[in-house]
Amino acid sequence: MLSSKLLTLLRYTRTLWVRVVLISLLSLAAALLAPLLSPLLPERLVDRLDRNAVMPVLTILASSMLAVTTFSLNVMVGAYRAAQSQATPRSYRVLLEDTTTQNALATFTGAFIFSLTAIILFRAQVYDRAASVTVFGFTILVVVLIVLAILRWIDHLTHLGSMDHTLDTLDRRARAPLDSLSRTPHMGGLAPVEHLPEGATPLCAPRGGYVQIVDVMALQEKAEEHDLRIHLLVLPGSHVMRDDVLAWMEGGTDAAAEDALSGFTIGDIRTFEQDARYGLVVLSEIAIRALSPGVNDPGTAIDVIDRLHRLLWERPEHGTGRDDREDGTPRDDGPDCDRVHVPELTAGDLVDAAFGALTFDAAARPDVALRLAHVLAALSREGQWRDRGPARRLGRHLRDRCDEQLLLDHDKAPVRDALS
């Protein structure tokens, strides 16, 4: 289980401006490093690669990379806005974290800053005669990086902003917290107790918003430090208002409660890092929009239903599947945090997040309703899911809505048969 500080750091590494700034600083450092390396160069090489051999290349890079960066930014924004309008506004945030696009833009910007800085230092006569060789070597390296970035960028542009690319990206982001949930259903802590102890102190939210990260390891450290037991009431993805109770604390003081609040990260939007339901919700939104009269794309809705089915089916419940020992008995290595009690997301929570809202819109389309009926029937049969009640409940809802919205009996009958 990653700490909140590490998750926040990883979030920053997926931000475009951070990569651009880092590459730009490296480029600036390379330009400033050239005079320091010049005394190590042989005189014969200095005579061959003088200032006149380097300046034309730097001038070309400085002029072309600015244009390429501007063009790439326009392409990126246009593609992401198209994906946002075709899929869901939530997909825009995920696409902004695309590493291939960020690396390409960072390389182009870094090359522009390197070449411009080198030209300025040449004009200011900061570089001596031998420094031209070092600058030339760095320039060759920059050109190689530009060529590789352009080749990757061209290949990436063939599917950037397409529905398939958007769905694949969201599929990967949704799968990671589901896999983590399978390994640690209580996020590394203990299961919640049946009754809270008397005299427990509430830990109240300092602001309103969505619970983005719950750092169970940090809460464990605070509990050990202050001799506490912490009983969580909320999970990542929960919306809270200021002064809502996040958890109950056994023992400790007001100072300990204030210290324990550092284990919660609350923001204005939901995020994917620990929220296993959010990826399912966003994929479901794409299917719902595809079924709207303005889009009318049932094929995309069926594709999303199949993806949701795979995400749920390939996530074994705790104590089954890949978490079992070779003899089939459940594996139980014990919790990492024995002072923190964490509620568990149930099968009903995940099925509702994936298909709850979708049953309203799918019921009006016979082909989509039939596919959804097959998926709900599969999740309600014997298999990896011990709790099959939520899928059966949604199946009944879908059947009732199809009876109301579909006019022809031969459209209703396949849905009834699939759910029977």
Domain final residue pick, 267, 299, 315:
267
φ and ψ of 240, to 5 deg:
-130, 155
Do the domain assignments include residue 167?
no
Do the domain assignments include residue 188?
no
Closest-CA residue to 285 (of 308, 267, 268):
308
Same domain flag for 10 and 101: yes
Tens digit of each residue's pLDDT (9 = 90 or more) over 52-90: 888 898 899 999 998 998 888 888 888 888 877 778 888
Burial 261-293 (b: 16+ CB within 10 A, else e): bebbbbeeebbbbbbbbbbbbbbbbbbbbbbee
Same domain flag for 209 and 78: no
Range of the domain at 216: 201-267
In single-letter form, the type of residue at position 13 comes to T
The CA distances from residue 206 to 69, 221, 236, in Å, are: 42, 21, 16
Same domain flag for 401 and 378: yes
Do the domain assignments include residue 103?
yes
Per the structure block, which two tokens stand in for 242?
A: 């200021």
pLDDT for 315: 67
Closest-CA residue to 180 (of 336, 389, 40):
336
Tens digit of each residue's pLDDT (9 = 90 or more) over 113-150: 888 888 888 888 877 777 788 888 888 888 999 999 99
Do the domain assignments include residue 168?
no
Domain final residue pick, 236, 267, 298:
267
Q: How far apart are CA 283 and CA 277, in angstroms?
A: 10
Secondary structure of residue 42 in the 3-state scheme? coil
Per the structure block, which two tokens stand in for 158?
A: 């063939």
Do the domain assignments include residue 173?
no
pLDDT for 11: 64
pLDDT for 386: 56
β-sheet bridge partners, residue 247 = 203, 232
Same domain flag for 21 and 132: yes
All residues at 6 or more sequence positions from 411 whose CB lies less than 8 Å from its CB, including other chains: 366, 402
Same domain flag for 311 and 336: yes
Same domain flag for 9 and 107: yes
Q: How far apart are CA 355 and CA 260, in angstroms?
A: 36
CA angle 346, 349, 351 (to 5 degrees): 105
Same domain flag for 294 and 237: no
User: What pTM was computed for the model?
Assistant: 0.81
Q: How confident is the model at residue 362 (pLDDT cuts 50, 70, 90)?
A: very high
Same domain flag for 130 and 210: no
Do the domain assignments include residue 183?
no
- What is the DSSP pairing of strand 201-204 with strand 264-267? unpaired
Q: How far apart are CA 416 and CA 168, in angstroms?
A: 32
Q: How confident is the model at residue 7 (pLDDT cuts 50, 70, 90)?
A: low
Q: Are 160 and 52 in contact (CB under 8 A)?
A: no
pLDDT for 346: 84
Do the domain assignments include residue 340?
yes
pLDDT at 228 over 90: no
Do the domain assignments include residue 181?
no
pLDDT for 335: 66
The CA distances from residue 36 to 41, 52, 112, 140, 323, in Å, are: 11, 20, 22, 18, 56
Q: Domain count for the chain, please give it.
A: 3
All residues at 6 or more sequence positions from 300 whose CB lies less than 8 Å from its CB, including other chains: 163, 286, 287, 290
pLDDT for 180: 86
All residues at 6 or more sequence positions from 141 whose CB lies less than 8 Å from its CB, including other chains: none
Domain final residue pick, 267, 293, 315:
267
Residue found under tokens 């289980």: 1
Same domain flag for 33 and 151: yes
Same domain flag for 315 and 392: yes
Same domain flag for 363 and 217: no
Residue 231, H or E segment: strand 229-232
pLDDT at 320 over 60: no
Q: How far apart are CA 10 and CA 306, in angstroms?
A: 30
Same domain flag for 289 and 407: yes
